[in-house]
Structure 1
Amino acid sequence: AWATAAGYARRSPVVGIPTPPPARRGPGRAQLPPRWAEHVAAWTAHQQAGGRAPSTIDLRRRALACLAATYADPWDITGDDLTFYLARTDWSPETKRSTRSSLSSFYRWAVRAGRTDHNPTEALDGVRVPRALPRPTPDEAVWAALAAADDRTRLMILLAGLAGLRRSEIAAVHTDDLDMPGVLRVRGKGGRDRLIPLHPDLAAALNAEVTRRRTQGPPGTGWTVAGTAPGWLFPGYGPDSHLHSHMVGKYVGEALPAGWTAHTLRHRFATQAYGATRDLRAVQELLGHSKPETTARYAAVPDHNLIAAVAGANMNHRPHRPTTPIQRQSTGPTE
């Protein structure tokens, strides 16, 4: 990284070599080399002016920071360079697609802004993501997590399992989002807000937390002090900030048995909501998806429906029986 930033190397020779992820205490903000910093800052301002969600801008900026650690000059990168960069085997198809989208956004802006006359992402094909089967968290795993979790983590689990919220959406829940009785306003992905009717169990848990804030002291790290009911449901560690989505995933993942996550709780919600209504469009609205095809990857069809569908297939037609003997064609001398 130092050699590429200092101009001694055009491309890092270690790109694509899998390495174990470093231990981290929390999400950090990667520093950009000087030849990237000015351009990325201008692109970030452009994204903010366009109303992009902060989480979206942060995700795309991190993708650019990773590329900047490999290539010293953003305008010296070719389509072949990006092909080699995205060909690494330790990235999932979802990561490759997200990275390609982030890089395309940056270089399209750079061409329009006159900072370069070449967009290397035009040489890239779209990334195919294999269709994944839904993985709803099973009942036993949810029960075990609810029994072992503290109050804060238990509320996170309920928001994922009974409202289908993403990690970033759980982190950003504010008490102002509960101003309509029986409804939760969710600040969704891509700046799209939606309204979710509250499950009775989730409504009771949320009301209990708001009441606790007004009357009691903080039960653990991260809660606000007594008498300060308004504010983030899961406060962060800075002034007027909420908990990072990375930490929400960490707490929920530690409470659930191995292999299950906050995202599989979202799959569970989608599966149960679809099983109760058979209305994929309604589930799409609840999950905040822009396309029903995305929702179909979340909602597993209940087993009894699959069994009934297979049982509906039959071969009960009566076979044709010829009324006269079939004459065998002679292909040679009669024996």
Structure 2
Amino acid sequence: MLITDRPQLKAIPLEWQQPLRNWELRLRAEGKREATIDVRIRHLRRLARDLGNVTPESVTEDDLVQWAGSKNWAPETRHAYYMSVTAFYSWHTRPTGNNPAERVMCGISRQQPPPRPTPEDAVRHALQIANPRTELIIRLAAELGLRCAEIAQVHTRDIDTGEDGCTLTVHGKGGKVRVLPVPLALARLLTHEREDGFIFPGKVNGHLSPRHVSKLARKVLPAPWNLHSLRHRFATVAYVRGGHDLIALQQALGHNNVATTQRYTQCDATALTHLVTATSLT
């Protein structure tokens, strides 16, 4: 089922329904990933609801300025919405031939936030109150650094158990695949009495949606921690305890650039103390 055809979504004005459905079909024809399509469609549906009776063809630069200017978004969220709206109007043909988002939704300053690893006591608390399904979600993020979309798609065929231990094939962003070794205790949870199929079955191509996976994790993690901060936890602990190997960590996280990996990794206080002590003049 197309995202735009799901009955549980909030209603949008009639004039937006067919254009967004056609755009979703175009995104699928271009081979865009399910998670990307889901984000793009949801962003445009929110725009449609917020603008009310303004049709896609009649949206102006001023409409977008008023809409975007009224939102108290974090820079990353704002950037994501701008990307979605610009992409839609780059595709959607208007009588005037212009793109109302072209000048309004250009690049914005995005200061990179510091790493926010989930504290160990918060992880333990979540595991204590989680049911078996949610426990596995938490552990896949905390022990392997998986994104919510990667967790949602884990399938029994991705798990390989051999003489050298268990490995998991992870289907990452942009269709990139990586293979990770799985700690013994986590491997037991992944393989215990499993029928062939998705580990987290659901209604999105047979598995849970990334949004639902994230929602399940938030129910047991104390605020403000979430699945993404568990990924930061993995990066930080792996770096500190794993020999400070950024290249290996980059591969484990599935990053294209090691600079991205550095943003996930919090320097441990002991290392800073050693550095400062080493430079002491007395």
Q: TM-score, normalised by structure 2?
A: 0.86
Q: What is the root-mean-square deviation of aligned Cα atoms in Å?
A: 2.5
Other-structure match for 2:267: 301
1:205-244 per-residue CA deviation (whole Å, 9 max, x = no partner) reads 2122xxx24xxxxxxxxxxxxxxx10110112x4962122
Q: Does 1:156 align with 2:121?
A: no
Instruction: Please give the secondary structure, in 2, of the residue aligned with 1:123.
Output: coil
Other-structure match for 1:326: none
Other-structure match for 1:197: 181
- Of 237, 258, 270 in structure 2, the residue corresponding to residue 292 of structure 1 is 258
How many residue pairs align between the two structures?
Answer: 270
Taking structure 1 as reference, are residues 85 and 239 closer, same or farther at Cα in structure 2, changes over 3 Å only?
closer
Deviation at 1:79, TM superposition (A): 2.6
Other-structure match for 1:99: 81
Determine if contact 1:183/1:196 at 8 Å carries over to the other structure: yes
Instruction: Please give the secondary structure, in 1, of the residue aligned with 2:206.
Output: coil
Other-structure match for 1:188: 172
Distance 2:35 2:236 in 1: 26
Task: Write 1 or 2 for the structure with the bigger share of strand.
Answer: 2
Instruction: Please give the secondary structure, in 1, of the residue aligned with 2:207.
Output: coil
Other-structure match for 2:201: 235
Distance 1:239 1:97 in 2: 26
Instruction: Please give the secondary structure, in 2, of the residue aligned with 1:70.
Output: helix
- Which ranges of structure 1 fall in alignment gaps of 5 or more residues? 1-26, 214-228, 317-335
Determine if contact 1:52/1:191 at 8 Å carries over to the other structure: no
Distance 1:177 1:129 in 2: 36
Rg: which structure is higher? 1
Deviation at 1:64, TM superposition (A): 0.7
Range that drifts further, 55-64 or 248-257: 248-257
Determine if contact 2:86/2:101 at 8 Å carries over to the other structure: yes
Other-structure match for 1:280: 246
Other-structure match for 1:117: 97
Superposition map of 1:306-321 within 5 A: 306-314=272-280
- Which ranges of structure 2 fall in alignment gaps of 5 or more residues? 1-6
1:44-73 per-residue CA deviation (whole Å, 9 max, x = no partner) reads 122111111111101100111111123322
- Of 16, 20, 43 in structure 2, the residue corresponding to residue 40 of structure 1 is 20
Q: 1:96 is aligned with what amino acid?
A: R
Distance 2:268 2:144 in 1: 19
Matched residues, percent identical? 39
Instruction: Please give the secondary structure, in 1, of the residue aligned with 2:50.
Output: coil
Q: 1:166 is aligned with what amino acid?
A: R
Q: TM-score, normalised by structure 1?
A: 0.73
Deviation at 1:89, TM superposition (A): 4.1
Taking structure 1 as reference, are residues 115 and 302 closer, same or farther at Cα in structure 2, changes over 3 Å only?
farther
1:172-224 per-residue CA deviation (whole Å, 9 max, x = no partner) reads 2111111464221122223333222212222122122xxx24xxxxxxxxxxx
In the TM superposition, structure 1's runs of 4+ consecutive aligned residues that sit over 6 Å from their partners are none
Other-structure match for 1:15: none
Distance 1:73 1:163 in 2: 45
Determine if contact 1:235/1:243 at 8 Å carries over to the other structure: yes
1:296-319 per-residue CA deviation (whole Å, 9 max, x = no partner) reads 221111222222222343457xxx
Deviation at 1:163, TM superposition (A): 0.7
Task: Write 1 or 2 for the structure with the bigger share of helix.
Answer: 2
Taking structure 1 as reference, are residues 93 and 277 closer, same or farther at Cα in structure 2, changes over 3 Å only?
same
Distance 1:161 1:53 in 2: 24
Superposition map of 1:136-155 within 5 A: 136-155=117-136
